Amino acid sequence: MQHNLKSMKALTGTNFTFPDQQNFYKGKVRDVYNINNRYLAMVASDRISAFDVIMPEPIPFKGQVLNQIAEHFLNLTKHLVPNWYISSPDPNVTIGHYCAPVKVEMVIRGYLAGHAWRKYKSGSRTICGVVMPEGMRENDAFPEPIITPTIKASEGHDEDVSRDGIFSLGLASEKDYLVLEDYTRKLFAFGSDYAKKQGLILVDTKYEFGIKDGQIMLMDEIHTPDSSRYFYADTYEEIQAKDQQQRQLSKEFVRQWLIENNFQGLEGQTAPVFTEAFINTVSERYIELYEKITGNKFIKQSYEGLLQRVENNIKDGIVGLG
């Protein structure tokens, strides 16, 4: 029997106060607590955003999926790239090292999809200063992955930026940026190989980085459906040959639903309210991706006493750090 997810409780947000808390930041999806400028406690909520707008309806289990996929890949890639992860004391929580964030999101694309395709379709052949070949179709593979950074916006849409733009705006030194590119390519190569073993194609993704004691570290999430796009590998070639839409596990289908309902985050537009059936579909897709990409069975958390549980587990996790 299918759950009525719309009537379920969801983790829409938190507002805790912890010992030695310096500040609290509410992102589009995550609530972030700075503990004594030494640690960050990051809560993955069930909020969902698209076109850089938070939707009015949350998606049950989404936060747990994001947090546990990120935990999975942070542990698997720590030998490749230093990261901020310390522990995950709760299904929705990660505690990690406090880092000064680099104000650039490192987007890497193996295929012409999503935002890059929308630009290409409009006639543009460059994105973030990178030239895209002529004659490509939607979802074709690039000759080699391209890096298309964006500037993180505190609100509103993130903006494409070129490598030279990053330097001229003082967002990163050339030395640091070369490290960001190197880490991005290493992580994407790992993620692509890992996805292939699971019968998936990692199409594109984004990584966020911070600096602690002069060292660049991977932060936040990695290879989740919010930050990444996946296609099913077994049907990719056949679907491309027919010039049809790829089967995918990502948030793109949410964007497509919104476009069909006349919303692209433009000025004057109001986000449509998700139907119960659509909330069910989105939740199931997130869980499917978790199981497909990790190979693990998803164990649904209880929503009973959720806020108290999350708060207590963060406290215990912080105390354990001394």
Mean pLDDT over 240-255 rounds to 88
Mean pLDDT over 1-28 rounds to 81
Q: Supply the mean pLDDT for the chain.
A: 93
Q: Is the pLDDT of residue 160 over 50?
A: yes
pLDDT of 207: 97
Q: Mind listing the pLDDT tens digit for each residue in 257-307? A: 999 999 999 999 999 999 999 999 999 989 988 999 999 999 999 999 999
Q: Collapsing DSSP states into helix, strand and coil, what is residue 290?
A: helix
Render 82-124 in DSSP notation, one character per residue: -B-EEEEEETTEEEEE--EEEEEEEEEEEES-HHHHHHHHTT-
Mean pLDDT over 67-82 rounds to 97
pLDDT of 154: 57
Give backbone dihedrals phi and psi of 160, rounded to 5 degrees, phi first: -60, 145
Q: Is the pLDDT of residue 85 over 90?
A: yes
Residue 41 backbone zone (phi > 0: left; psi -120 to 50: alpha; other: beta): beta
Query: Using alpha carbons only, how large is the chain's radius of gyration in Å?
Result: 19
Residue type, 252: E
H helix count then E strand count, the chain: 8, 17
Mean pLDDT over 86-99 rounds to 97
How far CA 87 is from CA of 41, 80, 92, 314, in Å, comes to 10, 18, 11, 10
Q: Mind listing the pLDDT tens digit for each residue in 112-147? A: 998 999 999 999 999 999 999 999 999 999 999 999
pLDDT of 157: 64
Q: Mind listing the pLDDT tens digit for each residue in 226-236? A: 899 999 999 99
Select from 52, 69, 65, 56 the least CA-distant residue to 12: 56
CA angle in degrees (0–180, nearest 5) for 293-299-302: 140
Q: Is the pLDDT of residue 156 over 70?
A: no
**Owner of token pair 């850089």:** 52
User: What's the pTM?
Assistant: 0.90
- Cβ count within 10 A of residue 17: 8
Q: Quickly state the pLDDT bin for 8 (edges 50, 70, 90).
A: low
- Ordered by where they begin, the domains of the chain are 5-319 (3.30.470.20)
pLDDT of 289: 86
Mean pLDDT over 18-43 rounds to 95
Q: Is the separation of the CB atoms in 15 and 43 below 8 Å?
A: no
pLDDT of 7: 46
**Owner of token pair 């990660």:** 94
Q: Is the pLDDT of residue 200 over 80?
A: yes
Tell me the longest C-alpha to C-alpha distance in the chain: 59
Q: Please give the Cα distance from 130 to 146 (Å, whole number).
A: 7
Q: Quickly state the pLDDT bin for 33 (edges 50, 70, 90).
A: very high
Question: Torsion angle of alpha carbons 81, 86, 87, 88, nearest 10°?
Answer: -60
H/E stretch holding 62 reads helix 62-77
pLDDT of 312: 97
pLDDT of 1: 37
How far CA 137 is from CA of 129, 185, 265, in Å, comes to 20, 24, 25
**30-39 contacts: CB < 8 A, separation 24 or more?**
30/220, 33/314, 34/98, 35/98, 35/318, 37/98, 38/97, 38/98, 38/321, 39/86, 39/95, 39/96, 39/97, 39/98, 39/318, 39/321
pLDDT of 11: 96
Q: Collapsing DSSP states into helix, strand and coil, what is residue 275?
A: coil
Q: Mind listing the pLDDT tens digit for each residue in 36-57? A: 999 999 999 999 999 889 999 9
Mean pLDDT over 197-223 rounds to 96
pLDDT of 2: 47
